[in-house]
Structure formats: C-alpha cells, structure tokens
A and B are shown apart, each in its own frame.
Chain A
C-alpha cells in the first residue's frame, strides 16, 4: 500500500502537469493573444459583389499584418451583395475611406481580406461600412474571360 503522503504528492504532480498542459495548449498552441479571443475588437461591414471562397474566421490583413477576422458573411437580400462583418483589433485604426479587397494567399491558399488605408482624416468607427471594395478573383470567371478573348482573336485577325 502506498503511503498517504506519497499519494497526495503524486496527485499534486498529476494535477500540476495536467493543468500545465491545458495552459500550454491555451497559451502556446492556441495563442491566447491572437485576435478573436479576449482581445478588444470593433465591428465594421463591407459589401462585396462576390466573396468567392471567403470563409467565416478568415483573416483580415493590412500590409500583411493580421488585424482582425471575418465574423460573419450574409447575403443582403435588397442589394443582392454579400455583406461581410469584420471584427478588427481595437489597436488598429483606419481612415474612413479604407478599401477592402478579397485576396488569395498563394495560388491555392485560403482567401483573406486585405485592407488598404486611405487618406481621409476621419477614422473608421465601429459599425461603419467600408465603401470601396473589390471582389474576389473567381478562377472560373478569369478562365471564361480568357477563353472569350481567345475565341475572339481569330475573327479579329481575319478582318
């Protein structure tokens, strides 16, 4: 039979290791400091003609730096455009005429929103809408355009 004190000690060690592991997962693996958990953020909206493959929780970047995440995506039934709700880190402020475009990380990578700051003195406030947006590059559209121009070329040359 193991002694009471030894058992207490080992259970203490076990609890410390287990809680330490949880803490490690929270801090080192999930990175508590990243946006989306616990960090103060403000919400702005952006309407796009086509969001392509943008997903909820996709990153929002300015100059390549992660400044927020896409919180939700919905279809505005009046304008029939996609409305993306962005949660931006309160540390970062942008001018009111900031522009948003949907970009792709690499050729096959995930899509994210890139913000390009404007020159307006007035700052973008919570609940504002980003007016200048450009849609996602949809590969099928691009190929379609290319094929169209390709098909037109022979007729041009015969003229």
Chain B
C-alpha cells in the first residue's frame, strides 16, 4: 500500500511546508516591524532603497501604464460604440484602472522588476556571508539591510500605482479624444461624476499599499531564506516573482470582494 498513499503524503507534506513558510514569513514580518524604528531614524538608508525600488521602476510603470490605458480606450471604444454610449469611455478607463488594473499591474511589474532584484541582492549578500559579517561586527542586519528595503517597497508601491493610473488615464485620453475624436469634455466630466474619492480612489490606494507590503515581504523573505549557493539564489529569485504574482492575484480577489 505505501505506493498508493504516496501522492496523499506528498500533498500533506506540501501543505505542512506551506503553513510553515507562512508562519516563518509572519514571524519575519514581526521582526522587521520591531527593527524598523532604527531604520526610520536613519533616513539616507531608506532613501537609497526607495531610489532602487521606486525611482528605477518609474520608466516601466509609465510606459506600461500609458499602453494599458491606450488599449483600454481602444477596446472600450469598440464595445461602447455598439451601444452608442462612447461618452462613458472616460468612466470605463478610470474605474478599471483605479479599482483593478492600476494596483494589480503596478504590483506585478514591481514584483518582477524590484522584488526580484531585492531577493537576488539579499540572497547574494547571504551567500557571500555579508549578513553574518555584519552581525559579527554588531550591526543588526535586519535593521541595516532588510527593513529599509521593506519600507522602501511599502512607500514606493502606492506612488507607482498612482503614476500608473494617471498615465493610463492620459493614455486613454490620447486614444479616445486625440485619435478617435471623442469629446474631451465628456471624457473628463463623465469620469468626474462617476468616480468617487473614497469608494474608488482611496480603496485603490489601500489595495496598492497592501500589495506593497506583500510583495516586498515576499522578496525580502525569499532573499534571507535563499540557499546560499548560485542555484539557491536563482531559485529564490524565481520563487519571489511566482509567489508574488499568485499572492497579488489572490489578495486582489479577496480585497475586491470586501471593498466593492
């Protein structure tokens, strides 16, 4: 019988391992939060990480945001046109970006651009025993290396999502008004009368903050727990991107169910 039970045992093993990892990640989050007071007192460290995580992601966020908005407007126009309600294009573009696409796509891009870089950097630091060296020198590696990266991600994520949204809305304006020739006033006024500050904008920002916490926590956690070899670091980097993407999509579904 042992062969028949093997798949079941395998599933059980995966579940137990998953719960273990989740528990470790939460404990790690707790440690990060305890140690972040020191980090916030040393702003230059944080600013340096915001530069690497946020500023360097700006380009890809701007470009993808613009194109997503342009595609939304093109697709939305063809559908809305068949109902004769093309003036709702502004609402369509703004609401889909603010509620879903902005936070989710910005977080996915952020995870693959900055999250993977964080994991690789921390993993390599661990592989070359820099983290241990710091601990030996009496420098707390969590406060010095990990917490600044975590907070940089948490701060950058909502800003990047907002930039993504604005670029998308402007891209939608470009396609809808400049290229197709809809009325520019209707684009903005329909958007303004149908978008609510609390309901749509603030909920979108809350979403992106939560995604920021999730993505950077995963990135830093995977980096610290990477097997200290070349293969281990590359595996951790891959895991960061895959896990982040799955977590973002799952969280997004739950948040949407709660919020809207």
A17 to B160, CA, bound (A): 9
Known: A14-B58, A34-B193, A36-B196. A25 touches B51 (CB 8 A): no
A49 to B180, CA, bound (A): 44
Mark contacts of B40-56 with chain A using CB atoms, 8 A cut-off: 1 yes-contact digit, 0 otherwise.
00001001101100110
Assess the A28–B188 pair: CB atoms within 8 A: yes
Known: A18-B162, A21-B166, A34-B192. A26 touches B54 (CB 8 A): no
Interface positions of A from 20 to 44, Cβ below 8 Å from B: 21-22, 24-26, 28-32, 34, 36-38
Q: Which residue of chain A has its CB nearest to the CB of B192?
A: A31
Chain A residues near B158: list those with CB within 8 A: 18, 22
Interface positions of B from 84 to 137, Cβ below 8 Å from A: 94, 98
Chain A residues near B159: list those with CB within 8 A: 14-15, 17-19, 21-22
Which of A2-10, A95-103, A128-136, A144-152 interfaces with chain B?
A: A2-10
Assess the B193–A8 pair: CB atoms within 8 A: no
Q: Which residue of chain A has its CB nearest to the CB of B164?
A: A21
Assess the B192–A29 pair: CB atoms within 8 A: yes
Assess the A25–B47 pair: CB atoms within 8 A: no
Chain B residues near A2: list those with CB within 8 A: 51
- Give min CB distance, A118 to chain B, whole Å: 27
Assess the A13–B55 pair: CB atoms within 8 A: yes
Interface positions of B from 122 to 171, Cβ below 8 Å from A: 156, 158-160, 162-163, 165-166, 169
Assess the A10–B169 pair: CB atoms within 8 A: no
Assess the A22–B162 pair: CB atoms within 8 A: yes
Say yes or no: is A125 at the interface (Cβ < 8 Å to chain B).
no
* Other-chain contact of B55, A14, A22, A29, A37 (Cβ < 8 Å): A14
Known: A17-B163, A25-B165. A11 touches B98 (CB 8 A): no
Interface positions of B from 176 to 232, Cβ below 8 Å from A: 188, 191-193, 195-201, 205
Interface residues, chain A, with chain B CB atoms under 8 Å away: 2, 4, 7-8, 10-11, 13-15, 17-19, 21-22, 24-26, 28-32, 34, 36-38, 57, 59, 66
- The 15 listed contacts between A and B (C-beta, < 8 Å) are A7-B47, A7-B48, A10-B51, A14-B51, A15-B159, A18-B158, A18-B162, A24-B166, A25-B162, A26-B197, A29-B169, A30-B197, A31-B192, A31-B195, A57-B196
Given A7-B48, A14-B51, 11 further pairs, Cβ under 8 A: A11-B54, A17-B163, A18-B54, A18-B160, A18-B163, A19-B159, A28-B188, A30-B196, A30-B201, A31-B192, A37-B198
